[in-house]
Amino acid sequence: MERTETRETARAGRRAADGARRVVLSCVLALVSVRGTVMVVPRAHAEAAPRATASAAVRARSGAMGVVDELGALRARVRAGATTAMAKSLSTVGDALHAIELKTQEDWNVEDVWVLFAWNWLIRRGREKAFRASERMKTLLVQNYREAQFEKSFLSWVKAPMRVIQALFVVSYVFDVGCSMIDMLSTEWDIPEYIKLGFDKGSYTFSLGIIVVMAIQQYGPKLLGRFLPSIREDASLQLVITRLTSAAVVVTTLMLTLSAFGIPAKVLFSFGGLGGLAFGLAAKDFISNLIGGLVLAVMRPFKVGEKIYLTGGGGKYRDSKEKDVSNYKVAEIGWYQTKLIPKDGKVTTIPNGYFLGANVINTSREPNEWLGPQLRIALTDFEGIEALTKELRTFLSQHPDVNSAYKAPEVALKKIEVDHLMVQVEMFMHGDAYYGEKKWKEKRQAILIDIVKIVKKHCPNSPALPTDRTYAMPASSSA
């Protein structure tokens, strides 16, 4: 029995060991399989990542090339469209110019005189009637509309260009009718067609150039101020650009006009012999004034509205208290001449060539005003000079209307005369620009009154009046 139980116990132990071995082997196999799976997945991802990156790069490169191709195609379409539009525009302009040229080549007949009378009526009365009718219509359509002034309207300005066109019509009418009469009266000699065509082209070109110059002079500064904000407040620079543009248009007009009349354009730049000398002498002042106007526009020593002093004129122009110094306010700067207004309001016109040799002092650009009163102190008040000068110096240095930071006020005895002592006061006061309005004269008056009060305080017998008598100096108290 015991032996049998021992064998059964041994078999059970073997079966348990075999089972344990199977469990351990199963666990090992499971761990191996899991490890293999874990190692295989990253390896698969690592191998797939470059392929995905390469595919993405290929797709991105294809997309970029597609965008570049689309941009290239768009640029080609825009270029083609712009070229087509420009060609159509130029063709339209060319057709219009050709139609205008054909119209200008039509001859005037005798019965066309009604056009001259109608145009004259438009100049004299039609412009203003059209303006009044337009203002009445605006008054009906717009509430609280304030009627504009005719003198400041476009229809008022257009009178000068219409006068130019009227002169063109009259000249063309007389020429064409005169040529027709010559052709009817004479069968042996006819006026060549190229002369008629040249006259028409030349006269119309010259008239058009004059009108363009008028328009530039009138509206050039306004357009520059609107489209170029940097020079909106710089009226002088606007004037320079406007004048240079006008000069270019004038030269171009003259060249085209001469070319239309069959005259070489180089005639404008070739003046030789006695004729050139005579022309140069006759036009010397004219050219000098034009150059002076250009210099004023470029250098801008003054502008409209500023106050200037002219020195060195020797009293050539209307002067103020000094013989060779003139004080003016600039009213207008033209091509040929400049208008200045003195204190009495009488307009003085000066050729621009004068400024090429004149000294100009622009007081409007100086922010300070100099004041230098001279105090006549009686000889009997000589003992109060030191206290007077000291108090005046302190008073002016601390005065808010005196610009002591620019230059300290100076007060000192300047000289001794036979009937008085001269104390000189010099200071710089703030100008009107400092206050933003015209206050300098009022401030000057207040300071001068305060100076007189201080003089009376220390020198009761002053200011001294001029006299022919010579006073003896009183004996000092120490004597």
Number of domains in the chain: 3
Give percent helix, percent strand, percent coil of the chain, each to the nearest 5.
Answer: 65, 10, 25
Residue 402: pLDDT band with limits 50, 70, 90: very high
Which of the listed residues 282, 315, 341 is the one where a domain comes to its end? 282
26 found inside a domain: no
CATH number of 311's domain: 2.30.30.60
Cβ proximity of 183 and 229 under 8 Å: no
**DSSP structure string for 412-468:** EEEEE-SS-EEEEEEEEEE-HHHHTSS-HHHHHHHHHHHHHHHHHHH-TT-SPPP-S
pLDDT at 199: 83
Same-domain status, 143 and 276: yes
Residue 32: pLDDT band with limits 50, 70, 90: very low
pLDDT at 478: 44
Residue 448: pLDDT band with limits 50, 70, 90: very high
Same-domain status, 252 and 332: no
pLDDT at 34: 45
Check residues 19 and 319 and name the one with the higher pLDDT. 19
20 found inside a domain: no
Residue 142: pLDDT band with limits 50, 70, 90: confident
Per-residue pLDDT tens over the stretch 377-399: 998 888 899 999 999 999 999 99
Most confident of the following: 50-64, 304-318, 407-421: 407-421
Per-residue tokens: 95? 């057709």
β-pairing verdict for 307-311 and 348-351: unpaired
Per-residue pLDDT tens over the stretch 149-175: 888 888 899 999 999 999 999 998 888
Same-domain status, 306 and 439: no
198 found inside a domain: yes
Check residues 83 and 318 and name the one with the higher pLDDT. 83
Grouping H, G, I as helix, E, B as strand and the rest as coil, residue 339 is: strand
**DSSP structure string for 154-167:** HHHHTHHHHHHHHH
Same-domain status, 155 and 268: yes
289 found inside a domain: no
What is the Cα–Cα distance from 279 to 257, expressed in whole angstroms? 21
Note down the domain range covering 348. Answer: 302-365
Query: What Rg value do the Cα atoms of the chain yield, rounded?
Result: 48
**DSSP structure string for 108-156:** P-GGGHHHHHHHHHIIIIIHHHHHHHHHHHHHHHSTTPPPPPGGGSHHH
Per-residue pLDDT tens over the stretch 183-236: 777 656 666 776 777 788 888 889 999 999 999 988 888 888 888 887 777 777
Same-domain status, 135 and 175: yes
Same-domain status, 310 and 263: no
Same-domain status, 222 and 275: yes
What integer is the mean pLDDT of 321-349? 78
378 found inside a domain: yes
Q: What are phi and psi of 371, to 5 degrees?
A: -135, 125
Same-domain status, 199 and 236: yes
What is the Cα–Cα distance from 378 to 86, expressed in whole angstroms? 89
Same-domain status, 209 and 267: yes
Residue 22: pLDDT band with limits 50, 70, 90: low
Same-domain status, 137 and 278: yes
Same-domain status, 343 and 422: no
Q: At what angle do helices 159-185 and 113-121 cross, to 10 degrees?
A: 170
For the CA atoms of 197, 201, 204, 209, the dihedral, rounded to the nearest 10 degrees, stands at -170
Grouping H, G, I as helix, E, B as strand and the rest as coil, residue 411 is: strand
Which of the listed residues 253, 282, 311 is the one where a domain comes to its end? 282
Same-domain status, 140 and 215: yes
What integer is the mean pLDDT of 329-351? 85
Q: Which amino acid is at 322?
A: E
Q: What are phi and psi of 329, to 5 degrees?
A: -110, 130
Residues 6+ apart with CB under 8 A from 389: 411, 412, 413, 423
CATH number of 379's domain: 3.30.70.100
